[in-house]
Structure 1
Amino acid sequence: MTYPIIDAHIHLDMYTELQQHKILNEMNAEGVEALISVSNHYQSALTNIKLSAMNQGVKTAIGYHPEQALPSDTEINHLLELITNQAEDIIAIGEVGLPFYRRKENQELILKPYIDLLETFIQMSVKLDKPIILHAIYEDAELVLDLLEKYDVKKAHFHWFKGSYNTIQRLMGNNYMISITPDCVYEQEIQTIIHHYPLELMMVETDGPWPFEHPFNEEMTHPKMIHTSIQKIAEIKQLNETTIYKAMYENTKQFYQLDV
């Protein structure tokens, strides 16, 4: 380990309290300087705000994860009010996006209300001048890019991105960030994206507590896994690990304007 790391996307609120304490207590030992903890819904956001108050290394983003039923109008209003009230303390709007996997399970799902909700969050990110954290993969990424370009969004982060070469080119043209998960160690699709995507537009994440396979089988997803991701990125990019550590750290710190 040669440089500090930042987990650019984790659902810290979704871990058990015991797991949360374990991760927070081990941050220093594992060189983890900060965690970008995204929210799934209103209660999730409240938990992340509480965790951030407990540990200054936890940085909160507020949004509504699209891979679930649409929120009620009341919850949307509560979320938007919370974002406004917490604008000085949160670092981003997220996680937001479109329900790719939910639509695969239910092809009758109507997409328009999800697009409308995402547009509301994009408008809020522009109004508050906050980065937006996106769940937008494959063909959904093109729809999201249309909205981002409509509102001239400058700071967008496509977490765990997957998509075509043409979509990759479009993301790069907008200088949008992506983040790499530990599955880069064994997934060819992610390795190909790493090969094509510029280092200066890349971050690293875990998306914990989502579990990973092969070297991480039956292991609780922990920010320390990022060290292994960095080793793999260095191998693919044919650069030394220190270069990758520094790039991932500085990219994330600058994108999120972190004071760490």
Structure 2
Amino acid sequence: MVKGIDCSTPLTASTAAKIAKQGYEFAARYLVPSSYAWKRLTAAEANAITVAGMQLISVFETTANRPVGGATAGTEDGKAALNEAQTIGQPTGSAIYFAVDYDAQPKDFAAIEQYLKAAAEQIPGYAAGVYGSYSVIEEMFKRKACDVFWQTYAWSYGKKSEHANVFQYKNNVMVAGVAVDLNESYGGEGWWNTKEEEEPTMSQEDAEKIIRFLSAAWFAATTKEDKAEFNRLADEVRKAAGVPTKS
């Protein structure tokens, strides 16, 4: 389980660092058009959050009950979310959550399902997720409307879905001078950061040759310290070649 926050206030490098220092490992922020600039995640902010050592979770929300607009609204919002994700450099393979931020009733579930499925069609390469109450999470999981699930305690009446990748358990808490909601995640949440994948600086063939020499030195070593150092050097060579380390 990992602790994190979500907030509508854009984070600066300073506030992101202060939040991370308090033990929070991810920040969920709004992936919305420029008309919602007051809460919009930008590339600069995404980088500041990454530099602070936190992961990002992207959520799309314009109005609380937008998903009752069904497939038409989902198509529009999916296109908008894709544009924002590409603009800020969110990598494919991560998730975009779409918020159902009200006490949705069973009569709304069909429209919400249509909304989510339509939005998902517009974000190729990204996992589609839903934020909502216990009943929304349970029903959308059953209907296979999306891939990942973020439950809020609100309107959940003390129930917690076993399908939740993220769980929001408290609202409006001040952390580092910012009003945030508190969350915990359980894996598979589709978070991301702005770090670029580093290209290997050494071929695997050369790495294997060097490691053979280091292996011979390891067997010749007479102290634990020397053996540990040869292991460390071998792992550094593996990293340079993009090969998984042994330690």
When the two structures are superposed, what TM-score results if normalisation uses the length of structure 2? 0.50
